[in-house]
Structure 1
Amino acid sequence: MKPLIEQFDIGANDVQSIVKNTLKDADDGELFLEYRESESLLFDNGRLKNGSFDQDKGFGLRAVAGEATGYAHSGELTKAALNRASDAAKAVTHGYHGNYSAAPRGTNKKLYDELNPLSSPSFESKVALLEKIDSYIRNKNDAVRQVSVSLAGSMQQVEILRADGELVHDVRPLVRLAVSVVAAKGDRLENGFYGCGGREAFDRFVTEDNWQMAADEALRMALVNLEAEPAPAGTFDVVLASGWPGVMLHEAVGHGLEGDFNRKKTSAFSGLMGQQVAAKGVTVIDDGSIAGRRGSLTVDDEGTPSARNVLIEDGKLVGYMQDRLNARLMGMHPTGNGRRESYACAPMPRMTNTMMLGGQYTPEEVLGSLKDGIYAVSFGGGQVDITSGKFVFECTEAYRVRNGKIVAPIKGATLIGNGPEAMKRITMIGNDPKLDNGIGTCGKNGQSVPVGVGLPHLRINAMTIGGTAV
């Protein structure tokens, strides 16, 4: 792949000179260059409904002076566009004389291959695969009424140039397979979903074993929900399954541990460093250095290598996720969490792969401990208030449990609570921590980035359940 810095209509040395002049009085900043190819196919209701292929290229130029950020971007790699961006970005340094920060440390680690997953299989092969999945599900059960199957992939090439001439390069593949099934019983319709993906090529996800597993799981969930009873409302002890239910940890706790919210003291965890914020035994990490995972990054969007960052250790708050700006202002170190959706956006502290580590109990012991409770296996949408920590999450697969045994699936269950309080009500931690299957996307301030979430089986006492039973 041709270096992006060489695609300007001026030489690389001239680009570096403009960046150096822009940032001469700044505390930090960089030129972020990006080229992206993306493709998505949706096979819905027995036919190819949508197909898209996009290419995008551009740059963002940032200057940081104290707490202020000057940012300008363009989809043109030209001297004229770069000079206009320079004038806009360095407006924040007018009359300001900062000390330009040292470059991020280098890394020899590669967490994924530099490849373009869109190069294979062919478009025709992908469409044929989606059609095959659709037929497989429809032929498997007469209750199936609708099938939606999608394949999506992208390749993102980035380069980050600093005023000191430091140039960082990364090529990031990303793929995703998603299957949704609607099943019917009489007049009742219910949905089931399964998705998987990662920073790799399509090869693993389009094998027969994998797509059949995804199809079977989506159909299973739809059929389970057809038999589900209305969820009860009240206060119950709850067990969360391992994997995807970690989205609750991500939303209710993870966002509150991002550096910008804590620097501005708008997080429920502000000012609690070193204090007990969760039950003993609870350890939460954010790890962007796991090879091939959806939320992983060889380097973040400021050029800092990703890392395994411990946030909560044995219940105590020990760290935040930091980009360079907030780390500098808080007297801390960047943690490799400076992320942006595209060249059109300035970076900010974001999660990568956020999960809770395992404990001493088997999943059977955790579930078997419930006398009268709820087993939450999968979540859909959720909302959280960062300042108060209050959250609401909808269960897409859940069960009523009595005397340690699953007695019936339930639908319409909503988990309601407060992140810091829920963390202190954890009484059992399973020994089976795992990340989700590679489908997570996180939104913050209008920007979306791919992430991973995870948990072991987990028991939380006295949670409020909003139900539909009357």
Structure 2
Amino acid sequence: MISLLDKTGIGRGEAAQILDTALKGADDGELFVEQRLSEHAVFDDGRLKSASFDEAQGFGLRVVSGETQGYSHSTELSAAAMKRAADICRTIIGGPASAVAQAPARTNRELYPAKNPSDHFAFADKVTLLQQVDDFARKADPRIKQVSVSLSGDWQEIEILRTAGEIYRDSRPLVRFQVSVMASDGSERASGSYGFGGRGLYSDYVTEATWQDAVREAVRQSLVGLEAKPAPAGEMDVVLGPGWPGILLHEAIGHGLEGDFNRKKTSAFAGLMGERIAARGITVVDDGTVARARGSIAIDDEGTPSSSTTLIEDGILVGYMQDRLNARLMGMKPTGNGRRQSFAHSPMPRMTNTYMLNGDKHPDEILASVKNGLFAKSFGGGQVDITSGKFVFSCTEAYLIENGRITTPVKGATIIGNGADALKRISMVGNDMALDPGIGTCGKQGQGVPVCVGQPSLRLDQITVGGTAA
């Protein structure tokens, strides 16, 4: 593989000299170089509404001293720009010189193909596909009034240079398909949406069978929405479906188990390592090694190999997700969770594929155990306070449970609670764990990165449900 640095004409040797000079007296740091190609097409209202193709490249140079970071980035890939960045970053160094932290271990593990998705699917064919999807959706039911279809591809090549010329590389493909519809029966309107994707080529995911199934699911959701009644409110038992409802786990609990929030003691879980924070039988992992999953990375954006990190084991807090800086300051090991949106951002602890492991209950057994409650099949947006752990999530598809059976669809339902408290209210864990279909993007401090979430069916005892019923 040709080095990205060599492609620019700078060369690895000159860049290494600049970096080594910048890191004298520092605790850690690296040069992160990136080239990225991305495309996005949207077919809406029966026409190609937008199509874009972007190319970006640049570097970010970081110097770490104690818990302070100096970071400078540029789209100009030149020795002069790197020297300027090094001079800026070195201004944070004070006190006696220290040895730069040990370089990460290496891995040759392949979790996804090192191929650009755009090279294997012509633009004209993408437009034809979007037209076919739009036509299929409109013919699916006469109540479908609006259709929007999108297709996205991303190809990221990264190179991380550390002291003494140590270099780490990764090539990351990413694709995503999404269809959204709006149905109307003349008096009510309702929407439905479904998407999928992952780290691979378009042909790995977008086939006639998969996009037709996606359309049918979006249409089904919208038609269910037309029949939905206002949701009741109050304390009740709630059953969460498998897969995408894991977004509640991701937001309400996952962020609170990232190293930086715990080092700064701003997490609701700070200081609880080794203590019981969840009901027995609850095991949660963050696993960046799932082949082709949307959140997977062979190495993180500091060069550390990704791993499967157990966060909660049988209800006990046993681990945090760590980047290099927070792991060093906490006396722990990096877990391969140092991620950044692009070369213009410094890394921080971020989730990859975060999910709860299977329990021993059949989903039907979980439903049968609830006399009156709510079944939440899918979630939309939510809000979480990391420090207090309080969360509010809206359900995009939910039903009443009556005498152990799913009955009336409801709209306007929200799940309200506290992450630490909710973990202890889980009384039954299903054996049907699933990851979401590959649509998640996680935001933190203005940075977005692709992630995956997942869980089996769960029963939450007496949690607060907000509703709109009179």
1:464 aligns with 2:464: yes
CA distance in 2, matches of 1:95, 1:333: 25
Is the Cα–Cα contact under 8 Å of residues 190 and 223 in structure 1 kept in the other structure?
Answer: yes
Q: What percent identity do the matched residue pairs reach?
A: 59
Q: In structure 2, what residue type is equivalent to 1:397?
A: E
Is the Cα–Cα contact under 8 Å of residues 295 and 451 in structure 2 kept in the other structure?
Answer: yes
Is the Cα–Cα contact under 8 Å of residues 230 and 467 in structure 1 kept in the other structure?
Answer: yes
- Give the structure-1-normalised TM-score: 0.99
What's 2:296 paired with?
Answer: 296
CA distance in 1, matches of 2:45, 2:368: 41
Is the Cα–Cα contact under 8 Å of residues 260 and 349 in structure 1 kept in the other structure?
Answer: yes
Q: Shift of residue 220 of structure 1?
A: 0.4
What's 2:382 paired with?
Answer: 382
Q: Note the 1:47-66 alignment, pairs <5 A.
A: 47-66=47-66
Is the Cα–Cα contact under 8 Å of residues 13 and 165 in structure 2 kept in the other structure?
Answer: no
Q: Shift of residue 36 of structure 1?
A: 0.2
Secondary structure at 1:293 match in 2: coil
Q: Shift of residue 90 of structure 1?
A: 1.1
What's 1:242 paired with?
Answer: 242
Is the Cα–Cα contact under 8 Å of residues 24 and 163 in structure 1 kept in the other structure?
Answer: no
CA distance in 1, matches of 2:96, 2:86: 16
CA distance in 2, matches of 1:391, 1:96: 45
CA distance in 1, matches of 2:28, 2:207: 46
Secondary structure at 2:164 match in 1: coil
Aligned residues: CA RMSD: 0.8
CA distance in 2, matches of 1:113, 1:185: 45
Is the Cα–Cα contact under 8 Å of residues 25 and 99 in structure 2 kept in the other structure?
Answer: yes
Q: Note the 1:65-104 alignment, pairs <5 A.
A: 65-104=65-104
Aligned residues: 470
Structure 2: stretches of 5+ with no match in the other structure: none
Structure 1: stretches of 5+ with no match in the other structure: none
What's 2:271 paired with?
Answer: 271
CA distance in 2, matches of 1:14, 1:130: 47
CA distance in 1, matches of 2:359, 2:453: 17
CA distance in 1, matches of 2:141, 2:6: 55
Q: Note the 1:356-367 alignment, pairs <5 A.
A: 356-367=356-367
CA distance in 2, matches of 1:428, 1:96: 55
1:131 aligns with 2:113: no
Is the Cα–Cα contact under 8 Å of residues 65 and 98 in structure 1 kept in the other structure?
Answer: no
Secondary structure at 1:204 match in 2: helix
What's 2:228 paired with?
Answer: 228
Is the Cα–Cα contact under 8 Å of residues 12 and 165 in structure 2 kept in the other structure?
Answer: no
Q: Shift of residue 96 of structure 1?
A: 4.3
- Give the structure-2-normalised TM-score: 0.99
Is the Cα–Cα contact under 8 Å of residues 233 and 469 in structure 1 kept in the other structure?
Answer: yes
What's 2:106 paired with?
Answer: 106
CA deviation map 1:304-357 (0-9, x unaligned): 000000000000000000000000000000000000000000000000000000
Q: Shift of residue 140 of structure 1?
A: 1.4
Say which is worse superposed, 114-123 or 257-266, in terms of deviation: 114-123
CA deviation map 1:285-311 (0-9, x unaligned): 000001100000000000000000000
Q: Note the 1:103-252 alignment, pairs <5 A.
A: 103-252=103-252
Q: Shift of residue 109 of structure 1?
A: 0.7
CA deviation map 1:261-285 (0-9, x unaligned): 0000000000000000000000000
Q: Note the 1:370-449 alignment, pairs <5 A.
A: 370-449=370-449
CA distance in 2, matches of 1:293, 1:467: 34
